[in-house]
Structure 1
Amino acid sequence: MRTDQPVLPGTSLGGTSPRTVWDGFHAPRLTQARRLAGLTKRDVAEGIGVSAAAVGQYEAGTNRPRPELIPRLADVLDVPMQFFVAGRPMGKLDSSMAHFRALRSTSGAQRERALGFVEQVWELTHALEKRVQLPLVNLPGFTGGEVHPGIDLPADPVGAARELRRHWGLGDGPVRHLARRMESHGLIVAAPSEADAAAAKVDAFSSCGLLRPVVVLTPNRADDVYRYRFSAAHELGHLVLHTASTGDSLLEREADSFAAEFLTPEKSVLPLLPRRVDLARLAGLSRTWGVSVSSLVYRYRELGLVSDATISRSYQRLRGLSRQPGFAPESVRGFPGEQPVMLRKAFELAEQDTGLTIRELAAELAWKPARVRELLGMPDSRPVLRLV
């Protein structure tokens, strides 16, 4: 018996048969599981002994896998058999509903995998929100927002950044704990572990296609808290400026402009920038404002303070200092306030108030318990038995 299989409400492990799953088979769940596994239809077909065309029919809903194939399908895709049963809330996304930070460096398959990850994050959030009241969505311009501030952000990136800072009461100083700040306004922020296949090759991305805006930050590409924070602000810019993703480089530049003004407002930073590009002084400003020295150098260009030739020389000098104290990347792990906690805290509150367990939550979602722990950021604490 596979003890990591969750139990659906009203059933037992022994009572959930392949025939029962076949009766309630939901084609979109197969597509989602395949996305998450990072497999092609041909890969799945080879794993269960059918043709790729047959798998295409299963996903299209024009045919269903025979009952005897369902356990093999679950094994190939590393999900419980119950995962394929209809009746659970499901968030569905396509690539037009997400902004990817590094669009050209990621394949279509990688983006599909990342979208499947976001769908699961939303489903976990939905399950927790039935038990715990999460912060209301307070993001001007987001159509699903629960707080209606009665304001429209300017269409230009700099103006939008200034107005959002004002609306969120951030003042003119540095933005501390950006990820937590976003969560406090109802955004879902997810930071997959390096082991999570959904984030293996994707930098950062966001989606406003579900009932809550979602921002996914993946420090594994470059474990640098300043780049991580800029990516978070960049994705925030997409959420408030752009209703759909087109892959246009103009949208990326606008999100960058938003992020720069949001993290380092011109009226606050301009008086602090030395007239000449002084990297040692910029390193001090970097720590204060939570942005990279490279980002501050770029602010000189944005604000028209120095020539492009000076900027180029400054970047060359920065490359030579990249391993020196004050210039070397700092791990996100050293900054707890930049790591999301909303979903884990929601589970802990539900556990305390209602007795909810990981196994019960996994049963409701039809996931393996390990997957629930992974998305909650709660690794298995049990000691590992090693046989030699």
Structure 2
Amino acid sequence: MSKYESGQLHLLPDTDLAGEELGGAFDSARLTQARRLSGLTKKAIADQIGVSAVAVGQWESGTAKPRPDNIDALAQALDIPVTFLAAGRPYARLDAADAHFRSLRRTPASQRDKAIAFTEQIWELTHALEKRVRFPAVDLPGFTAGEVQQTDFPNDPVVAAQALRHHWGLGTGRIGRMVRTMEQHGIVVTLVPFAGPETKNIDAFSTSKLPRPIVVLTPNRADDVYRHRFSAAHELGHLLLHGDCQPGDTQQEREADMFAAEFLTPSEEITPILPPRLDFKKLGELSVQWGVSVDSLLRRCREVGTVSEASYRRSHQRLTTLRSSGLFVHESVQGYPGEVPALLRSAFEMAEKSGLSHKKLATELRITLPRLRLLLGQGDTRPELTLV
């Protein structure tokens, strides 16, 4: 079912290898990636397949190779095709320090590892699709093929937000489709439960260390479209301002928030129309008009001095009461065109017209069909049957 030519593994499209056929093509880095995607420790994997954790560590470090029966057991335990563990395909490796995680303390190391491995897979999918479909060019000042270089572009977050609006020709009004705007300028954005139920514990994050900038938005924020839009703008700020990642750094997080606020609600436009005193009715109207949360507008009121610090703190208590009464309820992104990522899904659909299939692409990436659909944002949309 397989042949070696010039050191490269050639696979028949509708088959998978057994462990004995993988032979010398075993890639230790792919084992680490697969284990991180599963969220399992070395010991947990070792216990499942009946070896020692030391052995798994040696396989991942490359100091020893697993026997064919161990390879088969690894693939079964990790829910991957045996071919996933083979060398010979593009692999962009990331470190946890290469991504902007909002809060390291709230994101356990195992979940960060899973998030990083997911992002690596997103790049591989993007790379495979770009061989068939021309993506929008990356238009992010200072970004070139995985590096953000110092340019004459402003590094002050507020001025940078204003400059990027001008650079992208967005004017000064509401940004109607935040996520789509980012995709139109070559940024890959995803919104899938890549870590299962644990995804809700991971904040949005981003990286500029790959050939395309990638922003990962998480579904726990997708039930509030305005929070979702702010998260997207926040990560855009990181990509533009912070080529040197310092995950969890309070200063970088503060600057990304300042960028997002200015990008979504330019101060010159929003300041004159903010209410001179705390007026939730007016703030609600502005929220809908600008596509930002009332919470964000309250922060704007504090910044320009229309409410005092004490009034600002009390306003959140009042806002909580109003929400419990059915006012200012959160709305899902699903009802807002342009806020659900579509770049990867649309690229696949275009390639599909030229003969690409889910099965062919999954074979190329050496992943399962369910995994491919997850990466493409084509999750199971069927309603769940509940029996009572």
TM-score, length basis structure 1: 0.91
User: For residues 101-160 of structure 1, what are the alpha-carbon distances to aligned partners after superposition, in whole Å with 9 as ceiling and x for unaligned?
Assistant: 3332111111111011101111000000000000000001223289x9x96321111011
Give the distance between the partners of 1:140 and 1:214, measured in 2 at CA. Answer: 15
**Which amino acid in the other structure matches residue 87 of structure 1?**
G
Aligned-pair CA distance for 1:267: 0.4
Partner in structure 2 of residue 364 of structure 1: 364
Give the distance between the partners of 2:129 and 2:139, measured in 1 at CA. Answer: 19
Give the distance between the partners of 2:195 and 2:41, measured in 1 at CA. Answer: 20
Partner in structure 2 of residue 191 of structure 1: 191
- CA gap of 1:92–1:313, structure 2 versus 1, over 3 A, is same
Cα contact 1:96–1:244 (8 A) shared by 2: no
Cα contact 1:207–1:215 (8 A) shared by 2: yes
Aligned-pair CA distance for 1:302: 2.0
User: For residues 366-385 of structure 1, what are the alpha-carbon distances to aligned partners after superposition, in whole Å with 9 as ceiling and x for unaligned?
Assistant: 00111111111223589999
Cα contact 1:21–1:85 (8 A) shared by 2: yes
Q: Which runs of 5+ in 1 are unaligned?
A: 1-7
Partner in structure 2 of residue 30 of structure 1: 31
The SS at the match of 1:173 is coil
Aligned-pair CA distance for 1:197: 5.8
Aligned-pair CA distance for 1:334: 1.6
Partner in structure 1 of residue 265 of structure 2: 264
Kindly report which structure 2 residues correspond to 1:180-219, keeping only aligned pairs within 5 A, or say none: 180-193=180-193, 196=196, 199-219=199-219
Give the distance between the partners of 1:131 and 1:100, measured in 2 at CA. Answer: 32
User: For residues 238-267 of structure 1, what are the alpha-carbon distances to aligned partners after superposition, in whole Å with 9 as ceiling and x for unaligned?
Assistant: 001111222211111010000000000000
The SS at the match of 1:322 is helix
The SS at the match of 1:377 is coil
Higher mean alpha-carbon deviation, 8-17 vs 122-131, is at 8-17
- CA gap of 1:385–1:102, structure 2 versus 1, over 3 A, is closer
* 2:233 pairs with 1:233: yes
Higher mean alpha-carbon deviation, 53-62 vs 302-311, is at 302-311
- CA gap of 1:122–1:236, structure 2 versus 1, over 3 A, is same
Aligned-pair CA distance for 1:335: 1.5
Partner in structure 2 of residue 165 of structure 1: 165
Give the distance between the partners of 1:380 and 1:293, measured in 2 at CA. Answer: 33
Partner in structure 1 of residue 255 of structure 2: 254
The SS at the match of 2:100 is strand
Alignment root-mean-square deviation, CA: 2.4
Aligned-pair CA distance for 1:47: 1.0
* 2:176 pairs with 1:176: yes
Cα contact 2:200–2:219 (8 A) shared by 1: no
User: For residues 34-87 of structure 1, what are the alpha-carbon distances to aligned partners after superposition, in whole Å with 9 as ceiling and x for unaligned?
Assistant: 110000111111111111111111111111111111111001111110000001
Kindly report which structure 2 residues correspond to 1:337-352, keeping only aligned pairs within 5 A, or say none: 337-352=338-353
User: For residues 307-330 of structure 1, what are the alpha-carbon distances to aligned partners after superposition, in whole Å with 9 as ceiling and x for unaligned?
Assistant: 101111211111111234551111
Cα contact 1:114–1:198 (8 A) shared by 2: no
Cα contact 2:199–2:219 (8 A) shared by 1: no
The SS at the match of 1:104 is coil
The SS at the match of 2:154 is coil
The SS at the match of 1:215 is strand
Partner in structure 2 of residue 156 of structure 1: 156
**Which amino acid in the other structure matches residue 142 of structure 1?**
F
Partner in structure 2 of residue 289 of structure 1: 290
**Which amino acid in the other structure matches residue 168 of structure 2?**
W
* 2:130 pairs with 1:122: no
Partner in structure 1 of residue 4 of structure 2: none
Give the distance between the partners of 1:264 and 1:383, measured in 2 at CA. Answer: 37
User: For residues 164-221 of structure 1, what are the alpha-carbon distances to aligned partners after superposition, in whole Å with 9 as ceiling and x for unaligned?
Assistant: 0110111000111111100000000000137746734212000111000000101225
**Which amino acid in the other structure matches residue 216 of structure 2?**
V
Q: Which runs of 5+ in 2 are unaligned?
A: 1-8
* 2:101 pairs with 1:65: no
Give the distance between the partners of 1:152 and 1:377, measured in 2 at CA. Answer: 37
User: For residues 246-298 of structure 1, what are the alpha-carbon distances to aligned partners after superposition, in whole Å with 9 as ceiling and x for unaligned?
Assistant: 22111110100000000000001011101012111100100111110011000
Cα contact 1:180–1:340 (8 A) shared by 2: yes
**Which amino acid in the other structure matches residue 226 of structure 1?**
Y
Partner in structure 2 of residue 243 of structure 1: 243
Give the distance between the partners of 1:273 and 1:183, measured in 2 at CA. Answer: 31
Give the distance between the partners of 1:87 and 1:98, measured in 2 at CA. Answer: 26
Cα contact 1:203–1:219 (8 A) shared by 2: no
Number of residue-to-residue matches in the alignment: 376
**Which amino acid in the other structure matches residue 270 of structure 1?**
T
Aligned-pair CA distance for 1:226: 0.8
The SS at the match of 1:234 is helix
- CA gap of 1:108–1:125, structure 2 versus 1, over 3 A, is same
- CA gap of 1:369–1:330, structure 2 versus 1, over 3 A, is same
